[in-house]
Amino acid sequence: MQSPIMAQQREDSTSSEMRHDWLADRWVIMAPQRSARPNDYVIGPTRELDNANCPFCVGHEDCTPAAVATYKHACHHGSSQANHQASCLDLWSVRVVPNKFPAVNSNRKSLVESASFPVPVETAESHASAIDLFQRRDLTGGHEVIIESPQHLHSISQLNRESARLVFTAYRDRLRHWLDARGLAYGVVFKNVGLDAGASLVHTHSQLIATDILPADIARATERMELFENKESACLFCRMAEDELDHMVRIVEQTPNFIAFCPFASRFPSMVTILPTNHQPRFQTLSESELEQLSWLTHRMVRRIEHCYPDAAYNFIIHTAPNRLHRPDSFHWRIELFPRITKVAGFEWGSDCYINPLAPETAAAALRAAGV
Amino acid sequence: MQSPIMAQQREDSTSSEMRHDWLADRWVIMAPQRSARPNDYVIGPTRELDNANCPFCVGHEDCTPAAVATYKHACHHGSSQANHQASCLDLWSVRVVPNKFPAVNSNRKSLVESASFPVPVETAESHASAIDLFQRRDLTGGHEVIIESPQHLHSISQLNRESARLVFTAYRDRLRHWLDARGLAYGVVFKNVGLDAGASLVHTHSQLIATDILPADIARATERMELFENKESACLFCRMAEDELDHMVRIVEQTPNFIAFCPFASRFPSMVTILPTNHQPRFQTLSESELEQLSWLTHRMVRRIEHCYPDAAYNFIIHTAPNRLHRPDSFHWRIELFPRITKVAGFEWGSDCYINPLAPETAAAALRAAGV
């Protein structure tokens, strides 16, 4: 809460306004004056355990399930680590393994066979009810970990350009596997860095979850994209990219094929959206050159965030078109990236209405100014 | 993540299932096997600043805006604090003040007058578009702090029975003020305790936010309650209470007028819902005796949570019927209470699909077993 970026907006910030997030159809409260609140808490340093037993480090491959894919480049220079020579001998630069503690089941298994819940299957039959308040279903799909370096690095920003490209290549390939080859309903790549972002391991990694069901929120978002297209004969995010480039107040960077900007109705401070400026429904169709451009743009955006908020936890999420959509071409893929510098509190959990103490325009200016 | 309650379910927990939250129309992933994940982080102790300057302590009343309401009982015994004699002289036991850093504006003020956002009002007129992606609105309403004790206590569980009752009386009165007298669209009482729950001050307090707009998520929830009533000729939460009392696997406590239980599709571990068993749309209509029963039940539930998770941050939220509903009587008020023991990560932010590593049945058993 006590960041220099937020402090700089306090002087002229005296009131709130609401901004509409058209995609989520949700109003966000922008309340810059909230950043001047006093604070009783001094956060103790989060210590990291000795990494001698890190299951993601090179040499510990037997601590994880066997790899489903590995990526290697000619000579791996690490990230200015001392053991440069040693790393050139590594067998992999990026390694994809099934999650040892998956959130989804890889085999279809009926609830009757599963012994994980010590309760009988409940029904509402006593009411002869049409609605079952105790509905359950099995969940099948995939849950994978993309280990981004053989070395014990802690952020994607420590990778070199070639390694970053390989990580994004792995994202593309694994989304192709689960969405295109296996045909699952939904697939998402996400990254949790730091305790506050939900990470449990320090070693730089991302995850992919693919499910046989489309989450309700994603279904709603795709419906909103279709609605926009119906009404405007244009894609929502193509329009947004165009408008942001017109206004130039929230753009952080532009490359030949992408823009990175702080969205107008950001629900978190310093949230960044990365979009292809040309319409692309699926991340998986990225060309090699786009992939290289995107991976390095994302790398730079993480560095900008880390410059503004040293040691901040962060998440990113790759939204690509799910399967089984009525009109899959209405979807525009994108990356959402955000540092975790405020806590979500009771009001937000109760109303799904977010209070953001940092104007996206101020956030974008600070991210632009950050040297990378 | 490393709690004894979660550990005890690991043995027989090998797979995930999804459970449908009918109200939110959202599937939650129950993944008890996730609680066995290794963890690299050792959380440093969060230190609290010296409380000599706490703006909520007795004697510091001039650090906050003037009180809009105060409550006092005949002889205030504090909570077994040494300064019992002194506290009997206090002028108040509970004090309600406007939030000094409000998320909402108390006076209607046009955006043009407000100098808080250093950007011109943007329009999408260049597209002659029907949809404005940069829609803003002013936000008026109230944001109040309910200071629950003149002493520097940190949890509602440290109040005595009479003080707890006065706190809940303040909740009722202030909701009456904003929703019934002032007629605002939406009002919510919530409590953030601890850094991870979004608190910035330690001194035990709650907040009330009232807005002139109904948050989208609340509008959706009220529509779901109306839909249930249309289909079943019954109230969703009356039915749920009945079913939970039938099944008896997730009930933690029952009193003459209320039940406290861990909801079937809890999105967080050890989440508790407190419901009146008789249909009541509005919290504000609670009688004195119900208020006393409820405040002490909530107090006990917080103590049970603190017994299971010592020092855990927690939130609670009072959902009462908003105004301007098509059918306000379909609403059933309730309290949601949950410790903040897991972090919300990229997957959840990306999909609004929650992964809960603790079965509500296990959570309820542990909460029941906790001595209070």
Which of B131, B186, B247 lies nearest to residue A122, judging by beta carbons?
B247
Contact B353 A215 (CB under 8 A): yes
Whether B64 shows a pLDDT value over 50: the answer reads: yes
Q: Look at A10-14, A172-176, B100-104, B349-353 and tell me which has the smallest mean pLDDT.
A: A10-14
Predicted TM-score (pTM) of the model is 0.90
CB-based contact, A324 to chain B, within 8 Å: no
Give residues 200 to 219 of B whose Cβ lies within 8 Å of A.
Answer: 200-203, 207, 209, 211, 213, 215-218
**pLDDT reported for residue B282:** 98
Indicate the average pLDDT of chain A: 88
Mutate to test the interface with B, among A353, A354, A355, A362 (most CBs of B within 10 A): A353
**Smallest CA–CA separation between A74 and chain B, in Å?**
31
Mean pLDDT across B207-236: 95
Residue A128 pLDDT: 62
For chain B positions 106-165, those within 8 Å of chain A (CB to CB) are 109, 111, 114-119, 122, 124, 126-127, 129-131, 133-139
Subunit contact A317:B350, Cβ cutoff 8 A: yes
Amino acid B106: pLDDT: 84
CATH code for the part of the protein at B4-37+57-99+139-369 = 3.30.428.10
Please calculate the CA angle A280-A282-A287 and round it to the nearest 5 degrees: 75
Tell me what pLDDT residue B88 has: 47
Q: Report the distance separating Cα B224 and Cα B283, nearest Å.
A: 19
Q: Which residue would you say has higher pLDDT here, A35 or B164? A: B164
Residue B3's pLDDT band (boundaries 50, 70, 90)? Answer: low
Mean pLDDT of B37-49: 75
B93 Cα distance to chain centroid: 21
Range 180-199 of B in CB contact (< 8 A) with A:
186, 188, 190-192, 195-199
pLDDT for the residue numbered A38: 81
E runs forming strands in B100-231? 136-137, 141-147, 186-193, 205-211
Which residues, other chains included, contact B270 with Cβ-Cβ below 8 Å and sequence gap of 6+? B5, B262, B305, B308, B309, B338, B339, B341, B358, B363, B366, B367
Percent of chain B at pLDDT exceeding 90: 74
Would the CB atoms of B133 and A247 count as touching at under 8 Å? no
Residue among A36, A38, A3, A32 nearest A358 (CA): A32
- What's the pLDDT at B111? 35
Greater confidence (A219 vs A47) lies with: A219
Minimal Cβ distance to B130: which of A209, A232, A362: A232
ipTM for the whole complex = 0.88
Which is higher by pLDDT, A95 or B108?
Answer: A95
Report which DSSP code applies to A322.
P
Specify the CATH number of the domain A4-10+18-37+54-99+141-369.
Answer: 3.30.428.10
Q: Determine how β-strand A186-193 pairs with β-strand A205-211.
A: antiparallel
Q: How many beta-carbon pairs under 8 angstroms link A with B? A: 374
Whether B185 shows a pLDDT value over 80: the answer reads yes
- Per-residue pLDDT, A326: 87
Alpha-carbon span B52 to A299, nearest angstrom: 45
pLDDT exceeds cutoff 60 at A58? yes
Band (A89; pLDDT cuts 50, 70, 90): low
For residue A37, the model assigns a pLDDT of 81
- Residues of chain B neighbouring A111 (CB-CB closer than 8 A): 17
Most confident among A41-55, A314-328, B63-77, B106-120 (mean pLDDT): A314-328
Q: Collapsing DSSP states into helix, strand and coil, what is residue A173?
A: helix
- Strand runs labelled E in B284-372: 314-319, 334-339, 355-356
Q: Does B117 contact A359 at a Cβ distance shorter than 8 Å? A: yes
